[in-house]
Amino acid sequence: MESVAGLDIGSSRVIAVVPGTRDPGAPAASAIKCGFSCAVGIRKGQVVDTAALAGSIREALDVAGEAAGVKVEAVYAGFPGHSVEFYIKESGNLIGRGRKITEQDLERVRRLALVSEFPEGRRVIQSVPLEYILDGVPVGGDPIGMACSRLNMESLIITADNDMLERLSEAIHRAGVRIIDWAPSALAVGEVALDSARRQVGVALVEIGDSGTSVVLYNHDRPTAFQWLPVGSGHITSDLAICLRTTLEAAEGLKKEIGLSVDPACSDTAVSVPRLSGVGFNEVSRNTAASIIEARVGELLDIVISSVSKMAGQITLTGGIVLAGGGSLIPGMSAYASKYLNCRIEVGAPDVGGLNIEKHPVPGADCFGALGLLKYFSKRSHTLPENRQPEDFWSKFRGLFRVSR
């Protein structure tokens, strides 16, 4: 069986997750292995150099594969959310007076939803049934076995920019691996950062990436709305670099070290940052750095809550707002956001149920996308490919004499 990885291609990093190898006599659960690399050849979600991006992909896969003891041959690929669009489509079909609905009837109605015209250059990624309507009456759950004359279905059609996917495909193939399937990274993150109970009662997932933020609304355990916002944690880094006249690397370090939680006892303490000239250092107070971060985070939260309110409509988000992505790891982010917006906001905790992997060590929030891809597609196929150590000669030899029972 080929070794499979979850591959999350972002604007700043490429992350690969591989289930650890399992020998036949090993424990049931295996640890996951992560590989990281800088995303070279992609800028703001657009592939500008497929050869360079292929090198970044190969590096991340090699690191994860070496740690897991396998050679990755195929991937579930995740892509940035800036090109993702949701469409609500309704389709229907006459099935005969009083006849019970079968799986074939559902499949026919699902296919009819995809017959609809979409804007040029869009590729359908997935169709999600939202509601079934039997003879004009909405029903909850699976309608198979129910009797009706006409079956209608409301579907959520998830699409992405075809040109972007073609460029990503080229880079992945140049890296020497096969693509099994695609999914937007934000939806994959939702599989890990949110448990089923929250997705059922209504929740907003806010994935803060480097160049943008994806907002996904869930209700009745399904995604119902999506929006990509062109503000991310990378803009916080840029603000710090510009205001403090320092390098992006130093600004990124300040963001991760100071964040939004400054101890009052050391708020006036100065930190040294390198000058842009490369000669000498500037002294900056922690309060100054924190105020710059707060300004951009406040702007981001204003845009997020406006987006959530607009998309939610009549939906009550009982599960609140959950933060994910690298931007959610900024110190003090959830506490500041809860206070700023005066509502329940938490950072997503990993839910790895159904993946047959160890829960410890807990994967970081930056791995949620790649890990979520494995979970997302394991749910659709009902199985997760297991990565096993290749058998040596003597194992194969003994297998010739093994008695079948």
Residue among 180, 188, 182 nearest 73 (CA):
180
What CA–CA distance (Å, rounded) separates 31 from 7?
A: 17
Q: What's the mean pLDDT when you consider all of the chain?
A: 84
Same domain flag for 129 and 27:
no
Question: Could you tell me if residue 394 is inside a domain?
Answer: no
Same domain flag for 301 and 227:
yes
What CA–CA distance (Å, rounded) separates 51 from 361?
A: 34
Query: What are the counts of helices (DSSP H) followed by strands (DSSP E) for the chain?
Result: 11, 18
Query: Pick the residue with more confidence: 105 or 383?
Result: 105
Same domain flag for 248 and 307:
no
Tokens 């990885």, residue located: 5
Question: Could you tell me if residue 151 is inside a domain?
Answer: yes
Q: What is the mean pLDDT of residues 246-270?
A: 83
Same domain flag for 283 and 321:
no
Residue 124, domain CATH: 3.30.1490.110
What CA–CA distance (Å, rounded) separates 61 from 121?
A: 30
Question: Could you tell me if residue 136 is inside a domain?
Answer: yes
Question: Could you tell me if residue 377 is inside a domain?
Answer: yes
What's the pLDDT at 11? 85
* Least confident among 91-105, 263-277, 383-397: 383-397
Q: What is the mean pLDDT of residues 321-339?
A: 91
Residues spanned by the domain of 153? 85-162
Same domain flag for 334 and 357:
no
Quick one: pLDDT band at residue 127, thresholds 50, 70, 90?
confident
Q: Is residue 253 exposed (0-12), middle (13-18) or buried (19+ Cβ within 10 Å)?
A: middle
What's the pLDDT at 338? 92
| % the chain with pLDDT above 90 | 43
Same domain flag for 244 and 364:
no
Same domain flag for 215 and 78:
no
What's the pLDDT at 58? 95
Same domain flag for 209 and 307:
yes
Same domain flag for 261 and 284:
yes
Question: Could you tell me if residue 132 is inside a domain?
Answer: yes
Q: Are 84 and 186 in contact (CB under 8 A)?
A: yes
Q: Which residues contact 146 (CB under 8 A, 6 or more apart)?
A: 100, 101, 134, 139
- How would you classify the pairing of strands 222-229 and 137-139? unpaired
Q: Which residues of 60-77 are buried (b: 16+ CB within 10 A; e: fewer)?
A: bbbbbbebbbbbbebbbb
Q: What is the mean pLDDT of residues 256-276?
A: 80
Provide the domain count of the chain: 4
Using only C-alpha atoms, what is the Rg of the chain? Answer: 24
Q: What is the mean pLDDT of residues 265-291?
A: 84
Q: Is the pLDDT of residue 235 over 90?
A: yes
Q: Are 103 and 69 in contact (CB under 8 A)?
A: no
What's the pLDDT at 301? 95
pTM of the model as a whole: 0.82
Same domain flag for 206 and 308:
yes
Residue 198, domain CATH: 3.30.420.40
Q: Is the pLDDT of residue 130 over 60?
A: yes
Q: What is the pLDDT of residues 189-229, one digit of tens each?
A: 998 899 889 999 999 999 999 889 999 999 888 898 999 99
- How would you classify the pairing of strands 178-184 and 72-79? parallel
What's the pLDDT at 1? 52
Residue where a domain stops, chosen among 347, 367, 389: 347
Q: Are 256 and 199 in contact (CB under 8 A)?
A: no
Residue where a domain stops, chosen among 276, 291, 306: 291
Same domain flag for 327 and 260:
no
Q: Tell me if residue 18 falls in helix, strand or coil.
A: strand
Question: Could you tell me if residue 393 is inside a domain?
Answer: no
Same domain flag for 225 and 342:
yes
Question: Could you tell me if residue 277 is inside a domain?
Answer: yes
Question: Could you tell me if residue 363 is inside a domain?
Answer: yes
Q: What is the pLDDT of residues 6-54, one digit of tens each?
A: 999 988 899 999 976 555 444 434 567 889 999 999 887 789 999 999 9
Residue where a domain stops, chosen among 250, 266, 291: 291
What CA–CA distance (Å, rounded) separates 81 from 185?
A: 7
